[in-house]
Chain A
Amino acid sequence: MGSKAIIRVKDLRAGYGEDIILDHVSFNVYEGEVFVILGGSGCGKSTLLKAIIGLIEPRSGKITIDGDEVSVDDDTTLQKILRKVGVLYQGAALFGSMTIAENVALPIREYTSLPKESIDVLVKMKLGLVNLEGYENYLPSELSGGMKKRAGLARAMALNPKILFFDEPSAGLDPVTSAELDDLILYLNRSLGTTMVIVTHELQSIFAVAQRIIMLDKRAKGIIAEGNPKYLRDHSQNQFVKQFFNRQADEKGVVSRGSQ
């Protein structure tokens, strides 16, 4: 694991309208690590991700990526930051009017001076990495959910960014595809040194890929646990953390109360 903090979040407060969803959130992500943000539904995982990549403006606090402060207003810096970042969205967010190859080629064509034939080869390599050879001319609507996700990943890593963000990568995938995606994440992390920031609540995936996690909680509006997932599972004193990692329902839950 690299020692340099590539993402620094300090005293972040974010929310929508009147609701404050995250408050006093501070953490670092170090270069080259696989970092997982997890927590129950509605705890602000996606909000945190959006704040980090500059899609929403936090109420207060400071976020820096690779030394540059993320600010919605400072377009030049934001552009510089965004070049170092790739995002795989929950629904893959492929452009429906373009083929898979065109989707992946789009950033390469825009930001490099490579000739068209070379871009074609690159696109083939990228799609090969995510096991989608032969689907170059398909439209996103002709692909299954898992294939779309993989194509979305190929596009996110088109320019080999320093940091890849994943919003619920396993959502809607079968266990086999999900495991393949995990392997791919680990492989990219190992071979290219890409820092991975993953938002998920898929337990198996967390144990498979995460080197370090933070857990957010709705009631605490912030981080309730930080560290290695296996260690936390076995040693955490926090009730919610234990429940989460051992997949137990709330004791006050409807089902358990009904069965008593």
Chain B
Amino acid sequence: MSVPETPSTSRYEISENPEGGITLNIHGNMGAANAGQMIDELTALLSDYSPSSLTVDLEKVDYLDDFGTLVLAHLRKLVTNGGNGFYVINSSDKIKELLSILHFDSLDEKMSIEKKRSSGIFIRIGEATLQHISDLKYAISFIGSIILSLVHICLHPRSLRTDDTIRYMQRVGVDGLPIVALISFLMGLIMAFMSSVQLEQFGANIYVASLVSLAMTRELGPIMTAIIVAGRSGSAFAAEIGTMKISEEVDALFTMGFNPVMFLVVPKLVAAAVMVPILTLFSDLFAIMGGLVVGVFMLDLTAGAYMSQTIKTLELFDVFWGVLKGGVFGVLITWIGCFRGFQVRGGAASVGQATTSAVVSSIFLIIMCDSVFSVILRYWG
């Protein structure tokens, strides 16, 4: 007996015996390829009879597997619903062995798979609350271990993994520069264009330069840069650490005596804290260039006038403030990305969730943090 080549159709012969029962002769294969078809055909065939008993003759069956067993169980269900007899005859030893291993006799009783019952709404609310509390605890202890690692690095600067840090600097900063530059350039272009529509009415074209430069350096530059970095690198951090968690690499680090936070988080943190401010500076620069393009080509300003207005508007503090924000955002993105990565449990789907929530939480925190900065500046500056 071997697995059949193609979905060969089976043939059936039905004979009625004097006591009112019928005998069903099945020829051919009873396997995965034709089980569904057989069930349909046999149901239709037997619906014409209402036999007192059904005897299935398997003498001419070449192949029978668990799909075939299923067909037999279905036949049994069809006739025994009315309390009638069901018999299988002339089955080979192999088929007998298979039927006994598959517990054919008790097959009906364990028909469907019961789904796990979901618990009540109050239990779920309670569980979710407890989950959030434990998440919060973990988030705080995670901050604690980051701070401890940073203190350790300050005391022993050589324990910083320099190679990793430089690699992450390249990934966060250098590799992210083109997209940051392009988006900032376009932002500057759009802002200059939109504001010029209004300012032109008052003949105040030159203030386009002030508006673009001030808005970008103080607010939009750091925010746009941070959002791009969150999308590029925050998600990557979460996915990387999450996958390492699943493949027990984090456990391996731990048992080798490395502090996973020191090993995995600190290089990323340092890289982001250094590179996001630099990216912010580039973002400012490209946005101003975008505004300049609009100013020169659409508003009849000279490049010199535009630039001198920009320089007149901007104070060093504005640039510094934006860069400072960039640094803080960089730290936030890394913290959230790594935190979500370490929270991964189970399988691939969990990594996906961690990545999504890393990006969403970082963007939320970036905006939150930015409003805190605005409040501070309002009352302090």
Using a CB–CB distance below 8 Å, which chain A residues touch chain B? 2, 31-32, 84, 95-97, 101, 108, 111-115, 117-118, 120-126, 128-129, 136-137, 139-141, 159-162, 187, 190-194
Contact assessment for A159 and B32 in the assembled complex, using a CB-CB cutoff below 8 Å:
yes
- Taking A122-B70, A194-B3 as contacts, is the C-beta distance between A160 and B115 under 8 angstroms? no
Partner of A97, one of B39, B73, B101, B347: B347
- Taking A96-B350, A122-B67 as contacts, is the C-beta distance between A191 and B98 under 8 angstroms? yes
Cα A111 to Cα B36 with chains together (Å): 10
Closest to A84 in B: B3
Closest to B104 in A: A125
Measured between C-beta atoms, what is the minimum distance from B304 to chain A in Å?
56
Contact assessment for B35 and A2 in the assembled complex, using a CB-CB cutoff below 8 Å:
no
A122 contact set on B, CB distance < 8 A: 66-67, 70
B113 contact set on A, CB distance < 8 A: 101, 120, 123-124, 136-137
Measured between C-beta atoms, what is the minimum distance from B50 to chain A in Å?
23
**Is B97 in contact with chain A by the CB < 8 A criterion?**
yes
Measured between C-beta atoms, what is the minimum distance from A149 to chain B in Å?
16
Question: Given A96-B350, A112-B32, 10 more contacts at CB 8 Å?
Answer: A95-B347, A97-B347, A114-B39, A117-B111, A118-B35, A118-B36, A128-B103, A141-B347, A192-B3, A193-B3
Contact assessment for A141 and B346 in the assembled complex, using a CB-CB cutoff below 8 Å:
yes
Cα A132 to Cα B76 with chains together (Å): 25
Cα A31 to Cα B110 with chains together (Å): 35
Cα A190 to Cα B36 with chains together (Å): 25
Measured between C-beta atoms, what is the minimum distance from B117 to chain A in Å?
10
Cα A120 to Cα B345 with chains together (Å): 28
Closest to B348 in A: A96
**Is B161 in contact with chain A by the CB < 8 A criterion?**
no
**Is B149 in contact with chain A by the CB < 8 A criterion?**
no
Partner of B36, one of A114, A117, A191: A114
Measured between C-beta atoms, what is the minimum distance from B38 to chain A in Å?
10
Partner of A140, one of B35, B103, B111, B347: B347
B33 contact set on A, CB distance < 8 A: 112
Contact assessment for A126 and B112 in the assembled complex, using a CB-CB cutoff below 8 Å:
no
Contact with A along B350-364 (1 / 0, CB 8 A): 100000000000000
Cα A120 to Cα B112 with chains together (Å): 5
Cα A140 to Cα B36 with chains together (Å): 29
Residues of B in contact (CB 8 Å), total 37
Contact assessment for A129 and B102 in the assembled complex, using a CB-CB cutoff below 8 Å:
yes
What number of residue pairs across chains A and B have CB atoms under 8 A from each other?
98
**Is B2 in contact with chain A by the CB < 8 A criterion?**
yes
A121 contact set on B, CB distance < 8 A: 70, 73, 107, 110-112
A191 contact set on B, CB distance < 8 A: 94, 97-98, 101
B98 contact set on A, CB distance < 8 A: 191
3 smallest A-B Cβ distances: which pairs?
A: A96-B347, A113-B36, A193-B2
Cα A242 to Cα B31 with chains together (Å): 43
Measured between C-beta atoms, what is the minimum distance from B341 to chain A in Å?
16
Cα A128 to Cα B103 with chains together (Å): 9
19 residue pairs A–B, Cβ–Cβ below 8 Å: A95-B348, A96-B348, A97-B348, A112-B32, A112-B35, A115-B39, A118-B35, A120-B112, A121-B111, A125-B70, A137-B113, A137-B115, A160-B67, A161-B3, A162-B3, A190-B94, A191-B98, A191-B101, A193-B1
Partner of B111, one of A120, A159, A160: A120
A126 contact set on B, CB distance < 8 A: 66
A2 contact set on B, CB distance < 8 A: 2
Residues facing A in B87-109 (CB within 8 A) are 94, 97-98, 101-103, 107
B346 contact set on A, CB distance < 8 A: 96, 139, 141
Contact assessment for A118 and B115 in the assembled complex, using a CB-CB cutoff below 8 Å:
no
Closest to A163 in B: B3
Give the most central of A115, A122, A162: most B CB within 10 Å. Answer: A122
Measured between C-beta atoms, what is the minimum distance from B27 to chain A in Å?
19
Measured between C-beta atoms, what is the minimum distance from B109 to chain A in Å?
11
B31 contact set on A, CB distance < 8 A: 160
Measured between C-beta atoms, what is the minimum distance from B186 to chain A in Å?
38
Measured between C-beta atoms, what is the minimum distance from A7 to chain B in Å?
14
Measured between C-beta atoms, what is the minimum distance from A52 to chain B in Å?
18
Closest to A137 in B: B116
Contact assessment for B66 and A31 in the assembled complex, using a CB-CB cutoff below 8 Å:
no
B111 contact set on A, CB distance < 8 A: 117, 120-121
- Taking A31-B2, A112-B36 as contacts, is the C-beta distance between A124 and B67 under 8 angstroms? no
**Is B349 in contact with chain A by the CB < 8 A criterion?**
yes
Contact assessment for A125 and B3 in the assembled complex, using a CB-CB cutoff below 8 Å:
no
Cα A189 to Cα B346 with chains together (Å): 34
Give the most central of A2, A31, A159, A194: most B CB within 10 Å. Answer: A159
Contact assessment for B102 and A113 in the assembled complex, using a CB-CB cutoff below 8 Å:
no
Closest to B352 in A: A97
Contact assessment for B112 and A117 in the assembled complex, using a CB-CB cutoff below 8 Å:
yes
**Is B370 in contact with chain A by the CB < 8 A criterion?**
no
Contact with A along B282-315 (1 / 0, CB 8 A): 0000000000000000000000000000000000
Residues facing A in B13-42 (CB within 8 A) are 31-33, 35-37, 39
Closest to A97 in B: B349
A113 contact set on B, CB distance < 8 A: 36-37
Residues facing A in B55-83 (CB within 8 A) are 65-67, 69-70, 73-74
A192 contact set on B, CB distance < 8 A: 1, 3, 65
Partner of B35, one of A84, A114, A190: A114
